[in-house]
Amino acid sequence: MIEKAVQEGKDEGYGHVRMIGNGDILTHYEARRRIQESSVDSVMVGRGALIKPWIFKEFHENKTWIPNAKERIEVYRTLASYMKDHFGDDDFGRKRAFGFLPWHFEFLSRYTPHPEEKFGILSTEKSLIQDRVTISPDDLSPLEVLLSNQHNHVHSIIASLLWDSNSDANALQKLSEFAESREFAEIMLNGGTDKVEDTVLTNLPKSKAGKWGKRKVRNPGPKRSEEEIIQIRAERAAKKATILAEGGVWPPLKGVTDRQKGKDI
């Protein structure tokens, strides 16, 4: 149907409009084949990128990358580091980031390698994202068993260990120790391998209130310390002084055009 839409667009004189295809793309060779078969200008990736963020690296290099556990941890710690930079490395920032970081492992834990020489032909018969490979825990190292675990509690622990790590090596050490710990063994024994229900993208972080439900009272969460407040105020004062010294306006005007900024307000 996408191919038909592309062709009809060209026939109707809309060939200059870029067409983007999507749907169940997990590998670089599936993406490239979809482009060739349907003549779209590009493809977009959803769950495939959540399961393996390096799909873009694979497409760029036109080859499958099969990271080992250490390399996967480096990728995951990069994600945690970006969230730490964005939300802040304090209790308040951690609380906000953990509305997202553990959730990512519901997808990251589903990763299995799909080398083209083994799965290329199979991918023409059925989308690989709908036919995930299952690997017996007996064939995996303790660390790989941990990374492939689909239990929500385990995802929260992995996120915490990554957040608290000060280097890739430190993250690898922390996760390896937990993978071989009695705590993880007990989680596995008591149902820790229960799979998270695959509801496509309906398991995005849920809002605080339903469409018709009453809004819940917001949990105030951790408060910033006096020292943190003083530091933030000092940074804002310095920013204000710099903007005013350069002839700018404080506070910055929002939703105002450049022409309006030039007027005597």
Domain segments of the chain: what residues?
1-65, 67-109+131-201
Share of the chain above pLDDT 70, in %: 79
Q: Tens of pLDDT along 118-129?
A: 999 999 998 899
Confidence bin at 229 (pLDDT 50/70/90): confident
Condensed to tens digits (0 to 9), the pLDDT of residues 61-114 reads: 999 999 999 999 999 999 999 999 999 999 999 999 999 999 999 999 999 999
Greatest pairwise CA separation for the chain in angstroms: 73
Those residues whose C-beta lies under 8 Å from the C-beta of residue 54, and which sit 6 or more positions away, are 65, 67, 75
Mean pLDDT of 117-143: 83
